[in-house]
Amino acid sequence: MKILITGITGLIGNHLMHVLLKNEIKNIKGTYHSSRDLEEYITKNIEIVKADISNENDINNLCEGCQIVVHTAARVIDFGTKQQFYEAHLEATHYLLKDALLHNVEHFIYVSSVGVASGINRNKIIPNETTPLVKTGIHYDDAKIDTEKLVIDFCTKNDIKYTIVRPSAVIGKNSVWVVEPLKRMDTAVGLKLIDNGKQPACLIDAENLATGIYSCIINKNAWNQIYFFMDDWNISWKQYFSDLAKMKNKKIGSSIPFSLAYTVATLAEKVFPIFGKNPPIAKKSVQATGSNRVVSTQKARTELGWSSIITYQESMCRIQDSLK
């Protein structure tokens, strides 16, 4: 069995590689986009390929010889145009699916996001995998919704097994949920809490997610299924950001109401690009930290036997070590 991991040098891809190697799966191919230190991959005999997955020419024959594709590569930054997010997600995934079909890939695993469930009212229901999705106008989340549909439709039509993985915010070394908040704490405005950071921090340690994806690889129950993955740590955003700040002797800023933050982010996303600048606040991050994004992970726990192995304390200790 040979496995292709797109974005193998990223947070999710790297942790998945380590889980596969730990379980004696060594026939691994991976893609990377930008310049990286590749020594770790070379010494582990990983077949490593530089590829821009949004460029169809780079995708040609990428899946050759692979039975399983795990598509982790994505545009994870907070801000961008609708076209940029759709090119990086929908179009890139379509290129990869066509190549997977050409080379008889048996199982296509797409790493989506808990963000696809952002439009669901948690006052009425805790979403599970059968809950209908609602678009919010946030380009990242909407692109993920449409890409999920593409994967399901394409794979069903062409008799390819698929699995959709929907993780919550992934934390670990160099995670955007570590690097960006720490950067924001250094700015004049600082890191603002939304509604005093009262909402649950829906997080997952990268290793816990990697073990979940591994379960999807080895378990036939995962064929043609969708799974949410989120650690059951029961902490707030205020606690998470406070713990993060302590690691670097920083402080978090004051609180602003969700409605005000979302309005400011909406205006900033319209105005700042006019002057060639990225907005200092984005709707995606406001939505993520200022609203309830709790989902049910019962299906993954029941069907795959998945559980959170790494605790919150262990995860934060690893992050602290990575910052030294």
Per-residue pLDDT tens over the stretch 240-289: 999 999 999 998 988 999 999 999 988 988 888 888 888 888 888 898 89
Q: Supply the DSSP string of 52-104, one letter for each residue.
A: -TTSHHHHTTTTTT-SEEEE-----SS---HHHHHIIIIIHHHHHHHHHHHTT
Residues 294-307, mean pLDDT to the nearest whole number: 96
When mean pLDDT is compared across 20-29, 76-85, 97-106, the lowest value belongs to 76-85
CATH class of 3-171+203-231+294-308: alpha beta
pLDDT given for residue 78 in this prediction: 63
Residue pLDDT, tens place only, 200-246: 999 999 999 999 999 999 999 999 999 999 999 999 999 999 999 99
Residue pLDDT, tens place only, 40-51: 888 888 999 999
Pairing assessment for the beta strands 107-111 and 193-194 based on DSSP bridges: unpaired
CA distance 93 to 227: 19
CA distance 117 to 166: 9
Q: Which tokens is 305 given?
A: 């036997």
pLDDT at residue 34 is higher than 90: no
pLDDT given for residue 305 in this prediction: 96
CA 65 distance to own-chain centroid: 26
- The residue ranking higher by pLDDT, 129 or 124, is 129
CA distance 95 to 149: 15
Domain boundaries, the chain: 3-171+203-231+294-308
CA distance 100 to 53: 13
- Model pTM? 0.94
When mean pLDDT is compared across 25-34, 112-121, 140-149, 178-187, the lowest value belongs to 112-121
pLDDT at residue 35 is higher than 70: no
Handedness of CA 315, 317, 320, 324 (dihedral sign): negative
- Please, are residues 265 and 282 in contact by the beta-carbon 8 Å criterion? yes
